[in-house]
């Protein structure tokens, strides 16, 4: 791929930028951000959902469904693609024939970051929520950050925004995409095995994160969570300014955690001394860590603790991250993006803390055959605390082979062997109907997964009451 664009200043406002796969959560956010900066954006996506298309078109972005190359304008100055596009894709072929520079999404994100003071949020889990918490904290300090978040934030009115004081973005380790970013501040929430279709194992993953930290400048800062042993070991290899946060052994700690009316509060201590107290609207101790990490980033940008705490207290969450769809027949219906065993365990723990009296009923759609295969036993052991688990078929994405034994049906059987009531339900219609039949007043119904399992949440919401 041609790579000649280093900064936004290398582009002109007079010629269009084409985005192939514009409907994806990250791509549509970047499209909106570039539009706000004055660029002419157009794009294609045969699978774009109607709401996303409408949101983009309201920004003046032209969206086409057909990806045969006909939508690429003759004067296009740059083609931005998703990481999933194969070299044989028609739009890549046409762009190459037209000598149009081509950048993957992550590389373009790096271009945007090069034009501002960059903050990159990395880690196996919690990137989206932590990125949004950083933005909320900085807004509490009256900064105007630009951002690209891998999810829609209702209170921000977008998943991306131009801003001016700095630029905050998720740094995704899939396909080693985050190596395209050169931030001033990098935050690492945790490091665990994932994306084993890309990485050979945890050592390969840690090595990639190490390369990412090497992208920081000599005066840059690494913020990391000391609760992650891998992140802590990585920080020891970092030769610049490193700031740790956690529950116990760290420079910044969250202590005296309490819960009242569904809200978590904690003291922030610096080397043991209390500097402020933070109250969150998000459930779960994992979100205490996410908020504390965001707080540390804000301090590195010179913000006052009280202002950061105020910004964090106003944050209401990201869509598909413990998103309350509604309450029907005294059943609270919640949708969450959790798709890794560690995330599911944290989700169930946080749900129990928020709803200590109700049963927890889960519809879990495994995401990717490869991930289900690599973590089959971990998934089977991840549902302690759930009273019932329904499993529709695996959401297939980027998978090449499908071993016959890796199925939702077999996963349900294994979960049952571990003492949790689980049931294979094949499709969403059956899943929703079985859930409606099973649910009773006082229950919490969770739809869980990175695919389209949220559709079950909406089906159940409409069916109850």
- Quick check: 90 and 158 in contact, CB under 8 A? no
**327, part of any domain:** yes
The string of DSSP letters for 66-92 reads: --SSTTS-TT--EEEE-TT--TT-HHH
Per residue of the chain (465 residues), give pLDDT as tens: 445 788 899 999 999 999 999 998 789 999 999 999 999 999 999 989 898 999 999 999 999 999 999 999 999 999 999 887 888 999 999 999 999 999 999 999 999 999 899 999 999 999 999 999 999 999 999 999 999 998 888 899 888 888 889 999 999 998 899 999 999 999 999 999 888 888 999 999 999 999 999 999 999 999 999 999 999 999 999 999 999 999 999 999 999 999 887 789 999 999 999 999 999 999 889 999 999 999 999 999 999 999 999 999 999 988 888 999 999 999 999 999 999 999 999 999 999 988 999 999 999 999 999 999 999 999 999 999 999 999 999 998 777 677 888 999 999 999 999 999 999 999 999 999 999 999 999 999 999 999 999 999 999 999 997
Q: Are residues 306 and 231 in the same domain?
A: yes
**24, part of any domain:** yes
**280, part of any domain:** yes
Q: Are residues 58 and 206 in the same domain?
A: no
Q: Are residues 159 and 290 in the same domain?
A: yes
The confidence score (pLDDT) of residue 164 equals: 87
The Cβ-side half-sphere exposure at 371, using a 13 Å CA radius, reads 22
**262, part of any domain:** yes
The confidence score (pLDDT) of residue 320 equals: 85
Among 49, 81, 108, residue at a domain's last position: 108
Angle at 330 between CA 445 and CA 465, to 5 degrees: 95
The confidence score (pLDDT) of residue 2 equals: 44
Domain hosting residue 237, numbered range: 116-313
Q: Are residues 147 and 217 in the same domain?
A: yes
**184, part of any domain:** yes
Q: What is the CATH number of the domain that holds 251?
A: 3.40.1190.10
**318, part of any domain:** no
Element (H, E) at 28: helix 25-36
**2, part of any domain:** no
Q: Are residues 185 and 308 in the same domain?
A: yes
Beta strands 252-260; 263-270: pairing state: antiparallel
The confidence score (pLDDT) of residue 1 equals: 42
Residue 327 phi, psi (nearest 5): -125, 125
DSSP 46: T
CA dist 210 and 204 (Å) reads 10
CA dist 304 and 320 (Å) reads 30
Q: Are residues 16 and 125 in the same domain?
A: no
Q: What domain count does the chain have?
A: 3
Q: What is the CATH number of the domain that holds 419?
A: 3.90.190.20
Q: Are residues 140 and 94 in the same domain?
A: no
Residue 300 phi, psi (nearest 5): -65, -25
**1, part of any domain:** no
Q: Are residues 381 and 294 in the same domain?
A: no
- Quick check: 328 and 343 in contact, CB under 8 A? no
Among 313, 344, 369, residue at a domain's last position: 313
Q: Are residues 268 and 344 in the same domain?
A: no
Among 108, 125, 145, residue at a domain's last position: 108
Q: Are residues 434 and 302 in the same domain?
A: no
Coil, strand or helix: which one is 51?
helix
Q: Work out the burial of residue 398: count CB atoms within 10 Å of its CB; fewer than 13 is exposed, 13-18 middle, 19 or more buried.
A: middle
Q: Are residues 79 and 223 in the same domain?
A: no
Q: What is the CATH number of the domain that holds 97?
A: 3.40.50.720
The confidence score (pLDDT) of residue 400 equals: 67
Q: Are residues 59 and 146 in the same domain?
A: no
């Amino acid at each position: 791929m041609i790579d000649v664009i280093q900064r936004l200043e290398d582009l002109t406002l007079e010629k269009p930028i084409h985005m192939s796969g514009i409907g994806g959560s990250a791509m549509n956010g970047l499209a909106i951000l570039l539009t706000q900066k004055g660029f002419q954006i157009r794009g294609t996506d045969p699978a774009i959902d109607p709401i996303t298309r409408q949101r983009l078109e309201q920004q003046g972005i032209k969206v086409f469904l057909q990806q045969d190359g006909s939508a690429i304008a003759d004067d296009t100055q740059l083609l931005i693609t998703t990481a999933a596009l194969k070299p044989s894709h028609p739009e890549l072929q046409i762009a190459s024939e037209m000598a149009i520079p081509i950048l993957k999404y992550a590389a373009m994100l790096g271009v945007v970051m090069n034009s501002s003071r960059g903050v990159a949020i990395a880690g196996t889990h919690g990137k989206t929520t932590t990125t949004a918490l950083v933005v909320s904290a900085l807004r509490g300090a009256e900064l105007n950050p630009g951002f690209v978040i891998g999810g829609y934030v209702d209170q921000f009115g977008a998943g991306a925004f131009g801003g001016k004081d700095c630029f905050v973005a998720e740094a995704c380790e899939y396909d080693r995409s985050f190596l395209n970013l050169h931030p001033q501040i990098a935050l690492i929430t945790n490091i665990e095995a994932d994306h084993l279709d890309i990485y050979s194992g945890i050592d390969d993953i840690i090595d990639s994160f190490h390369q990412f930290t090497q992208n920081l400048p000599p005066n840059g800062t690494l913020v990391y969570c000391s609760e992650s042993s891998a992140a802590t070991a990585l920080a020891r290899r970092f030769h610049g300014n490193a700031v740790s946060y956690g529950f116990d052994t760290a420079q910044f700690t969250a202590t005296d955690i309490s819960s009242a009316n569904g809200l978590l509060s904690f003291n922030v201590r610096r080397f043991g001394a209390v500097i402020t107290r933070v109250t969150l609207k998000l459930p779960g101790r994992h979100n205490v860590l996410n908020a504390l990490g965001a707080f540390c980033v804000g301090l590195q940008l010179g913000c006052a603790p009280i202002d950061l705490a105020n910004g964090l207290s106003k944050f209401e969450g990201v869509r598909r991250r413990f998103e309350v769809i509604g309450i029907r027949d005294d059943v609270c219906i919640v949708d969450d993006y959790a798709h890794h065993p560690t995330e599911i365990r944290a989700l169930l723990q946080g749900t129990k803390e928020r709803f200590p009296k109700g049963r927890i009923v889960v519809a879990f759609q495994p995401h990717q055959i490869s991930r289900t295969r690599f973590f089959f036993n971990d998934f089977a052991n991840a549902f302690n605390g759930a009273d019932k688990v329904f499993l529709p078929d695996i959401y297939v994405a980027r998978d090449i082979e499908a071993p016959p034994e890796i199925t939702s049906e077999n996963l349900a059987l294994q979960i049952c062997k571990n003492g949790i009531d689980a049931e294979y339900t094949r499709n969403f219609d059956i899943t929703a109907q079985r859930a409606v039949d099973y649910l009773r007043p006082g229950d919490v119904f969770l739809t869980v997964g990175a695919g389209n399992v949220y559709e079950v949440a909406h089906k159940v919401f409409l069916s109850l009451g």
